[in-house]
Copies of this chain bind each other. A is one copy, B any other.
Amino acid sequence: MSKVRIGIVGLGNMGSTHANQILAGKISRLELTAVADSDPAKLARVPQVKGFSSAAEMMASGLIDAILIATPHYDHTTIGIAALKAGLHVMVEKPISVHRADCERLIAAHTNKKQVFAAMFNQRTDHYYLKIRDLIQSGELGEIRRVNWIITDWFRTETYYASGGWRATWGGEGGGVLLNQCPHNLDLFQWMFGLPVTLRANCQFGKYHDIEVEDDVTAIMTFKNGATGVFITSTGEAPGTNRLEITAERGKVVYEKDKITYTRNVQEMGEFSRTTDQAFGRPEVWEVNIPAPSHGDQHNGILKNFTDAILDGTPLVAPAAEGIRSVELANAMLMSAWTDKAVTFPIDGKKYERLLKAKIATSKASKKKKKVVKITNDDFAKSMVK
């Protein structure tokens, strides 16, 4: 096999963006050979290749070796399982599933390890986050003591929420900012820091928008080594903030506005505290600017890695199995808010599924007919600029 023939299911904003990139030849050795969408108008967005009205037909067509799943979230699980069973290589958009129990079902279907199963965590290709992860993993920072991520630059308008009837409903997305906007950040979070031991969150539902799901979240966490974490997100704040602060024995790292600043303690802070005869002194610090060449190849980089994994056995940047962790973080935040209790990891996936189904059963969003507004391509393109 010298090329991978891929089909895309779901031609919404993301699916059609991926289609255009592949059709434009941006991903070497990856060829778009089919698309599927139940909406004929969306199928018409990609007239160059064979269109199907369902994923099942596309999978049975023999036209594809691999599938890219860009449907609303719930279908990631069902289509993903079907595609794995059909022997296809699978790339699934984030989140890999809506809740932990579904993630387990999806991951369990990946029995043939010759099939490549990856997730679209494109921000793992960002050199800034790669640098920060390297600072941690190399041991440069020493023991991590606190993490504080304010990631509130996900502003979305009422028009956005009116752009899909499934949007921001328990039945359609299974959540709000945590399930739609934050999977990337939650993935990066666990990829850099691992999962916490306990978590407690304050979620506000429809605080800023006429929606039933969360659009404002503040979570506090404790890690195994006693480190604490704070994660704050919202789709209601403009201009918003993306500021990650890491406190470690060797100093403080701040990532904000495309700059990584490392205030490096010449002596580790704990050792200084224990050995100095000063009461108010502090370790000497060096101000270090950590360079990063670019934000990386993002979506196309992940598609290229997927192609290389299929053709050459290249290790995946983002194996789908790792996608359970960001889902679990999102689930834990909602579960803590619903139950007003701390949640411990691993979370009880069955319990979460029951709680979510109860939300769906009493959802009002599914009953009121929403005016659906169409989003222009120019408008959607703004969501890619950070």
Contact = CB atoms under 8 A, between A and B. Distances in A.
Interface of A: 145-146, 148, 150, 152, 155-160, 163, 200, 202, 204, 207-209, 216, 218, 220, 222, 226, 228, 230, 232, 234, 236-241, 245, 247, 251-252, 263, 265, 269-270, 272-274, 276-283, 285, 340, 342, 373, 375, 379-380, 382-383
Contacts of A238: 251, 265, 269, 272-273, 282-283, 285
A379 B383 CA distance: 51
A239 B285 contact: yes
Nearest to A254: B241
Nearest to A229: B218
A234 B273 CA distance: 13
Given A200-B202, A228-B202, A277 B208 contact: no
Contacts of A156: 273, 279-280
Contacts of A281: 157, 379, 382
> Among the interface residues A222, A239, A252, A282, which one has the most CB atoms of the partner chain B within 10 A?
A239
Contact of A279 (B160, B232, B274, B282): B160
Nearest to A226: B207
A337 to B, nearest CB: 11
22 contacts: A155-B269, A155-B282, A156-B273, A157-B272, A157-B278, A158-B273, A159-B277, A160-B279, A160-B280, A202-B220, A207-B226, A218-B220, A218-B228, A220-B220, A237-B252, A238-B283, A241-B245, A241-B247, A279-B375, A279-B379, A280-B375, A281-B382
Contacts of A220: 200, 202, 218, 220
A342 B342 contact: no
A239 B218 contact: no
Contacts of A277: 159, 373
> Among the interface residues A204, A241, A265, A285, which one has the most CB atoms of the partner chain B within 10 A?
A241
A156 B269 CA distance: 10
Q: Which 8 A-B pairs have the closest CB atoms?
A: A160-B279, A280-B382, A238-B269, A280-B383, A157-B273, A279-B375, A238-B282, A159-B279
> Among the interface residues A238, A247, A265, which one has the most CB atoms of the partner chain B within 10 A?
A238
A145 B236 contact: yes
B282 A236 contact: no
A150 B148 contact: yes
A237 B228 contact: no
A145 B202 contact: no
A280 B380 contact: yes
A159 to B, nearest CB: 5
Contacts of A245: 150, 241
A245 B238 CA distance: 13
Contacts of A222: 202
Contacts of A272: 157, 238
A209 B274 CA distance: 8
